[in-house]
Structure 1
Amino acid sequence: MCSTGFVRSLGFALLPLAVCCIVANVLLFFPGGTTQYLQEGKLSRLVWFMMGIGGGGALMCGSVTAALVGLAGSGYCFVISAMAMLEGPQCDTGLGWSYPFANKGGRYLFEQETWSNCSYPVSIVEWNVTLLSILLGLSGLEFIICFLQVINGLVTAVCRPCCYKQDYTLNA
């Protein structure tokens, strides 16, 4: 059974996912849609790891022909996004800029009343949680698609003789 159409459709599915990862990562640089916190150097440090731009974005575009690179890229995006989600954003708590939710194992995610501990940027916890959730979901999808591409490539390599088998007969 040949499945080149399946592989092609998986490759095309990765492109919009990659674009969405890039957009979500870029938005993390502009909390509340402003450049103020970027200019002041008050972004969460894991945003600078470019998980959506590099891992979920650029490396995905190359993964159409190299699914293993895509697996690495989506895995990177997923892991760094998860770490950023667990750590929480850097924000002004009224006592200075810090990571008020760090080292708490992500419990802040279920304690929304603590989100008001962050004064500035306004709604930074909601901003980060939303965008990091998008990155986690998209990179998970990308990982699954790349994994399927790897499996499909292996199956195609093993079954290639079956796919291209021709019936040769000797006509005298």
Structure 2
Amino acid sequence: MCFGRCARCIGYQLLVLALLCIVANVLLYFPNGETRYAAHNLLSKYVGCLHGIIGGGLLVLVPAFTLIGLEHGHFHGCFAHEHYGRNCTPLVVVLVACIGIAGAAYCFIICCLALSEGPYCYCWTERIWCSPFSNSYGGYLLEHNKWTLCQEPRYIVQWNITLFSILLVLSGYELILCIIQIIHGCLGGAWTVCYGEREPQESQRSLQTHSIPLPTRGTC
């Protein structure tokens, strides 16, 4: 049915997005492919929030695998997927979509904060490790000439902007898909109510139509 196909399609999209979020978050730990900055805790405080691994990744995998499971028939009884009538599949769909929204929203918010503050780096002007753009409220994003304030790691500003922006877009897309899935689950629940009311009536009509009259005895 249409409900099942839409849910499975969203599930596969969420799976891909969650895996991309995990990869992007892992890359944040290794600017220029080097591990020494993470080993010495010389990265932005927002990198350690695991927003892409836990938020946009693992939490979003919950609705992704649940919705994909509808296709392969892994859920039975309460999770029956052939029909929404008289089962709690729509409720489960809404609940797992809320988990996905929580994870994606967490990732989205952390990305906004990280882009606003800027990277943590070695500033050649002050000769210390600091966040030189923390008071710019994101204004440094358009002031490319100031990016050279960060001397080490090399190209850390570009690295952070690129990956945090990717995570921002991915988590935003996850939010949209999960919201769509909540609407989809609510429609499925409404369909359940209507179908549950019509099914007994149709079954009763069918029995009346196909019933065979019993023979009667003749009177003396």
Task: Please give the TM-score of this superposition, normalised by the length of structure 1.
Answer: 0.95
2:182 counterpart residue number:
150
Equivalent in 76, 81, 89 of residue 111 of structure 2:
81
1:37 is aligned to 37
Aligned residue for 1:63, secondary structure, equals helix
Identity of counterpart residues, as a percentage? 44
User: Which residue of the other structure, out of 133, 139, 145, is the alignment partner of 1:113?
Assistant: 145
CA deviation after TM superposition for structure 1 residue 163, in Å: 5.0
Give 1:122-161 correspondences, 5 Å limit. Answer: 122-161=154-193
Distance 2:161 2:182 in 1: 31
Divergent runs of 4+, >2 A: 161-168
Root-mean-square deviation (CA, aligned residues, Å) is: 1.4
Shift of 1:160: 1.5
Q: Which moved more, 1:114-123 or 1:61-70?
A: 61-70
TM-score between the two structures when normalised by the length of structure 2: 0.75
Gaps of 5+ in 2: 67-95, 212-220
Equivalent-residue separation in structure 1 for 2:28 and 2:179 (angstroms): 27
Instruction: Kindly state the Cα deviation for residue 142 of structure 1 after the two structures are TM-superposed.
Output: 0.4
User: Which shows bigger deviation, 119-128 or 161-170?
Assistant: 161-170
**Contact kept? 1:91, 1:119, Cα under 8 Å:** yes
**What residue ranges of structure 1 are gaps of 5+ in the alignment?**
none
Max radius of gyration: which structure?
A: 2
1:58, CA displacement in angstroms? 0.4
Q: Kindly state the Cα deviation for residue 12 of structure 1 after the two structures are TM-superposed.
A: 1.0
Question: What secondary structure does 2:26 align onto?
Answer: helix
| Cα distance change, pair 163–128 in 1 and its aligned pair in 2 (3 A) | farther
Aligned length: 172
Tell me how far 1:158 sits from its aligned partner. 1.2
